[in-house]
Amino acid sequence: MTRRYFVPDLPTQAASVDLPSPEAHHAIHVMRVAAGDEITLFDGKGHESQATIARVGRSECCCAVQPTAEVDREPTRSIHLGIALPKPDRAREMIERLTELGVKSVTPIVAERTQRPPSDSVIEKLRRGVIEACKQSGRNLLLQIRPTQTATEFFSQPPCQTRWIAHRSEVSVGIKSATESREITVAIGPEGGWSDEEVGCAAGHEFRSVDLGPRIYRIETAATVVAALLVSD
């Protein structure tokens, strides 16, 4: 039973706090909390606090909050993924898995073979999925969903320590062969793959081709495989 709730402006000292409307609705109407119940609050910035339900109304839930503490459950490696998102229902499940695994951020990419760019409403639902995954998994730092970019814009960003593009080629390396860096960016293309121009653009900006194995994965599978391999090292 989930007893964690998201409060973005969690006070640092003991105080009385009203849960935000979506969290209050979930606590009251789904979890059926009552006065005296103990819960955990987190702010999505790395902090959490223990709290006690003080008062429950029809749509309000007031808590007595203890001082916050910084609780770090992040992986040692900072992982950023640029992903040509799949359809909305698959994208939400993917984002939830990536959040649980500890991916730091995701940039939605519009590639040449992207069939439908993500709308603002889709991105908002994905961000809500991040919160739900953090509540479930115990993560205190929200995965960041950055503004959507074209593939060219994404590849042209200032380089980090290691940059990969998921693309099999004659010079591609296995994903486990270059994981010494503590900061890694990986680009994962759309169904149908990257165009030759996009692969060339990536190579021109220091992206190395990485091979995920002999099978062809769906977008969400590829993203999850990459994240799982990188956080486990």
Compute CA distances 74 → 78, 130, 176, 206, 226, whole Å.
9, 15, 20, 27, 16
pLDDT for the residue 180 = 67
What are 183-221's pLDDT values in tens digits?
899 999 999 899 999 999 999 999 998 888 788 899 999
Q: Which one has a higher pLDDT value, 96 or 172?
A: 96
With b meaning 16 or more CB within 10 Å and e meaning fewer, what string describes 184-196? bbbbbbbeebbee
- Return d(Cα 150, Cα 111) in angstroms, integer: 6
CA dihedral 144, 94, 136, 17 (to 10 degrees): 30
Residue type, 116: R
β-sheet bridge partners, residue 184: 79, 162
- Return d(Cα 149, Cα 139) in angstroms, integer: 27
pLDDT for the residue 182 = 84
Q: Which fold has domain 78-232?
A: Alpha/beta knot (3.40.1280)
- 98: tokens are 């990536």
CB 8 within 8 A of CB 44: yes
pLDDT for the residue 138 = 95
Q: What are phi and psi of 153, to 5 degrees?
A: -65, -40
Of all residues in the chain, what percent carry a pLDDT higher than 70? 94
Q: Which fold has domain 4-70?
A: Ribosomal Protein L25; Chain P (2.40.240)
Angle at 18 between CA 25 and CA 127, to 5 degrees: 55
Q: What are phi and psi of 4, to 5 degrees?
A: -120, 140
The DSSP secondary-structure symbol of 82 reads E
- 194: tokens are 């990257």
Query: What is the arithmetic mean of pLDDT over 43-52?
Result: 96
* Domain layout of the chain by residue ranges: 4-70, 78-232
The DSSP secondary-structure symbol of 191 reads T
β-sheet bridge partners, residue 1: none
pLDDT for the residue 162 = 87
Using a 10 angstrom Cβ sphere, with 0-12 exposed, 13-18 middle and 19 or more buried, the burial of residue 75 is: middle
- Return d(Cα 66, Cα 112) in angstroms, integer: 51
Q: How confident is the model at residue 157 (pLDDT cuts 50, 70, 90)?
A: confident
